[in-house]
Structure 1
């Protein structure tokens, strides 16, 4: 399938967007995480773009997309700016058609901003989240106010502690200068080896790996502390599906439990997989995405053929 490359103006940056699949097929937008670029989605794209219009883009600062510059560069990575980027990509590639949204890792974290923003209501037909919680839901869960953890004292605290331990790298990324030195001193060069050892995959070398890693630190620094201290009430306006790698060394499965307060009824599927399942098992991920898309298909007249979220379930695989 031929892949077209577009350049989309998102205000302060220009975004590289990659599109393939039949023009009249249901559109699916894929948002990548850290320290990746849109190339992480290529194995999944190959499974989807015979049936769907598949759109992926390098997020700001990654791949071939532009990066904010100047003294306000860090604030330019705040969640609301990332949501505006998604809107620009959707407007350029989907027009007024509703689209299905999929996020992995930071792509999932940032996509929650749109899925819970009333301005996107009616635009997002479904949302599939892989290894990336809503920061507001997670923070509210840690506070015992609902979302991402069981709320009885006997179970919430151990689960919260386990997630804090899994999230050691977040604290590291907030250190001044040290993460930059590690990435420059060989971290970027050794990244494929890290994935080979920890994930059992052999990714292609990304020439933008160092740039992805350095710019993407702003994703953490611009958002985590603020959301931890000031979580918001964020309610989803689209049906939500979690694909949950049960051997994820970074994101604990409990972060996708107990979210009915924010999401209503939602779908949750457990996978015997690790964090970079999008590379390790793209067929499984594409199958999960396709199934959810079909359940929430949108006719060309804009009316959903199914409507509403499907019943919540947890399926061990």
Structure 2
């Protein structure tokens, strides 16, 4: 599969963008999370390349893209503009479909909840990355209802992020151990085959830079959640064995995204690696259904 690399600017940020697949198919923009790069989608892309034009990119602070120094540069509002910049560059005249995982999904939620997002995004498939405002609102509601099980399970799952909030605490473990043993750790944490993990050469740097996403966004969003709705069709792929993002946190998702489809996999957090064929199948089915609805609407 031939891949073409280009650079897309967004102000002072240069984003490394990679294009492959069928140039005549619907465009799918794929957004990775922490601490991955665009390579997260290699397995999924193999299953989608025949029918779709595939675009992935290294998000700011990762891989071959610009690494901002200031924590404020990693706020969701800024990260969403990166996604829109890529969309405008690769498909200026047609809206695209978005497939995103982990922090890439958190960033894409920010984008699809922007006014007029549907003019540029036809559908959004979200894997293991919630809208932080929705998550905070859900947690507050359940606590007010004295239904503590769901919020407690997510608090336990997210306990590691406390260390990520404190500058300097997580840096040495990430640089000295996790970056060197990442495939083995994912085998332990997620139960996947370490052979499917292909760490980027920039992994150690990406791990540390990516911490700024946590510091820039988690506390502000959990402290003061916003009302964020979207009319973009959304598919949730819920990984039942996800140890980082618990499916319960999406209980109220239809309130915020009324055009919602749910699917689940018997998978852990890194399902784009462990279940690439399933992710590709679910994404393709959803995209094709949205495309069919679009064509029927245009011909009516």
Give TM-score scaled by structure 2 length.
Answer: 0.94
1:305 is the counterpart of 2:299:
no
Normalized per residue, which structure has more helix?
2
Cα drift, residue 264 of structure 1: 1.2
Structure 2 Cα separation of the partners of residues 187 and 131 of structure 1: 21
Structure 1 Cα separation of the partners of residues 95 and 230 of structure 2: 16
Structure 1 Cα separation of the partners of residues 144 and 164 of structure 2: 31
1:38 is the counterpart of 2:38:
yes
Structure 2 Cα separation of the partners of residues 205 and 163 of structure 1: 27
Q: Detail structure 1 runs of 4+ shifted over 6 Å in the superposition.
A: none
CA-to-partner distance for each residue in 1:223-270, whole Å, 9 max, x for gaps? 011001111000012001101110001000111222222111411111
Question: Unmatched 5+ residue regions in structure 1?
Answer: 145-149, 308-317
1:249 is the counterpart of 2:243:
yes
Structure 2 Cα separation of the partners of residues 259 and 43 of structure 1: 28
Structure 2 Cα separation of the partners of residues 26 and 152 of structure 1: 44
Give TM-score scaled by structure 1 length.
Answer: 0.89
1:95 to 80, 92, 95: 92
CA-to-partner distance for each residue in 1:104-135, whole Å, 9 max, x for gaps? 01110111011100142321101100001100
Structure 2 Cα separation of the partners of residues 114 and 163 of structure 1: 24
- For the 8 Å contact 1:74–1:221, the answer to whether it is kept is yes
1:9 is the counterpart of 2:9:
yes
Question: Partner residue of 1:224?
Answer: 218
- For the 8 Å contact 2:231–2:259, the answer to whether it is kept is no
Map 1:268-283; keep pairs closer than 5 Å.
Answer: 268-283=262-277
- For the 8 Å contact 1:295–1:306, the answer to whether it is kept is no
Aligned residues: 294
Question: Partner residue of 1:214?
Answer: 208
1:153 is the counterpart of 2:145:
yes
Question: Partner residue of 2:156?
Answer: 165
